[in-house]
Amino acid sequence: MAPGPVVDAPGEPTLYGSSPAAPTAVTAERSRGGVRHDQEPGRIDAIALSQWFSGRKVLERCTLSMEPGRVTALIGPSGCGKSTFLRALNRMHELVPGAQLSGQVLLNGVDIYSEDISPTEVRLRIGMVFQKPNPFPAMSIADNVLAGLGLSGSKTDDAEALVEQCLRRAGLWEEVKNRLHEGGMSLSGGQQQRLCIARSLAVHPDVLLMDEPCSALDPISTRVIEETIRELCHDITIVIVTHNMQQAQRVSDDCAFFLVETLGEPGRIVEHGPTERIFSNPSDPRTLDYVNGRFG
């Protein structure tokens, strides 16, 4: 359901979902289908991003650059706005009634909240993998991979090749290549999550957002997902929310530490930078306390 009208927050311009626009050049290019091998990762920049839900401010002027071809981990205690920030990066927050936003989100320098870009186009270019695997229960494994094409109105010239490519990139092909017509729900939890990653890859996103993708998985499945993330980041920019500090160290190139300083206050980015520095020599003592497990 489309979000209702929102009221500008005092002193700050509020941006919100536009009505669907005509397909852009990117959408038109993708509708011709085929298997791409020349994909370039996207750069995504959040500039002074603030958010409200039903008038309550939950994020305060967050600025963060997520570099092309790198994995950025969003870390911090529960309730500090990491997932809220993540959902603003592809306009998912618009699905929540009463959501408001100010600031900018740029994909390769283009404001994704521009009136010329529809939310559907944004979500094609900036994909999302959720905490709980959500394959479509009535669809086969192969049809799950291709589902995004149908929902977006895109086409492919070679569906079988696209299914194989996406499942290979998601690290799942060898496990399911002889059972593509079985239901997606027949897979284990870790396999379902990789199927959801393959589904996201089928529309060739520039950026892939992951909201705690391993939190419900066993250690073996977690390791496979982490290996998949490291492989994918060569041609897709990845932003991941995680509460697992060891995972952040293993998979990310950069980290941003979110924190609510006082109960009832909005979340803020305290510090961001290369993962190695954030964990070994951060600038803010609160960051050092958090990554060393002294709170949170």
Q: Is the predicted pLDDT of residue 29 greater than 80, yes or no?
A: no
Please identify which residue in the block is written with the tokens 């494994």. Answer: 141
Give the confidence band of 115 by pLDDT, cuts at 50, 70, 90: confident
Q: Mean pLDDT throughout 159-180?
A: 95
pLDDT in tens, 219-276: 999 999 999 999 999 899 999 999 999 999 999 999 999 999 888 899 999 999 999 9
Query: Would you call 44 exposed, middle or buried from its count of C-beta atoms within 10 A (0-12, 13-18, 19+)?
Result: buried
Alpha-carbon gap, residue 85 to 70, rounded angstroms: 18
Give the confidence band of 181 by pLDDT, cuts at 50, 70, 90: very high
Q: Is the predicted pLDDT of residue 190 greater than 50, yes or no?
A: yes
Mean pLDDT of the chain: 86
Percent of the chain with pLDDT over 70: 87
Give the confidence band of 162 by pLDDT, cuts at 50, 70, 90: very high
Q: Is the predicted pLDDT of residue 15 greater than 50, yes or no?
A: no
Q: Mean pLDDT throughout 99-120?
A: 92
What CATH number corresponds to the domain at position 47?
3.40.50.300
Query: Would you call 22 exposed, middle or buried from its count of C-beta atoms within 10 A (0-12, 13-18, 19+)?
Result: exposed
The residues near 152 (Cβ < 8 Å, ≥ 6 apart) are: 27, 30, 120, 124, 203
Q: Is the predicted pLDDT of residue 19 greater than 50, yes or no?
A: no
The predicted pLDDT at position 154 comes to 77
Residue ranges of alpha helices (H) inside 37-140 are 82-88, 119-125
Find out whether 125 and 42 touch, Cβ atoms under 8 Å: yes
Asked whether residue 10 is domain-assigned, the answer is no
Q: Which two tokens stand for residue 289?
A: 């306390």
The more confident residue out of 149 and 109 is 109
Asked whether residue 90 is domain-assigned, the answer is yes
Q: Which domain holds residue 73?
A: 40-291
Provide the number of structural domains found in the chain.
Answer: 1
Nearest C-alpha neighbor of 215 from the set 195, 185, 190:
190
Asked whether residue 13 is domain-assigned, the answer is no
The residues near 115 (Cβ < 8 Å, ≥ 6 apart) are: 18, 21
Asked whether residue 156 is domain-assigned, the answer is yes
Q: Mean pLDDT throughout 28-51?
A: 68
The residues near 257 (Cβ < 8 Å, ≥ 6 apart) are: 75, 76, 269, 270, 271, 272, 278, 282, 284, 286, 287, 290, 291
Q: Is 268 helix (H, G, I), strand (E, B) or coil?
A: strand
Asked whether residue 191 is domain-assigned, the answer is yes
Asked whether residue 27 is domain-assigned, the answer is no
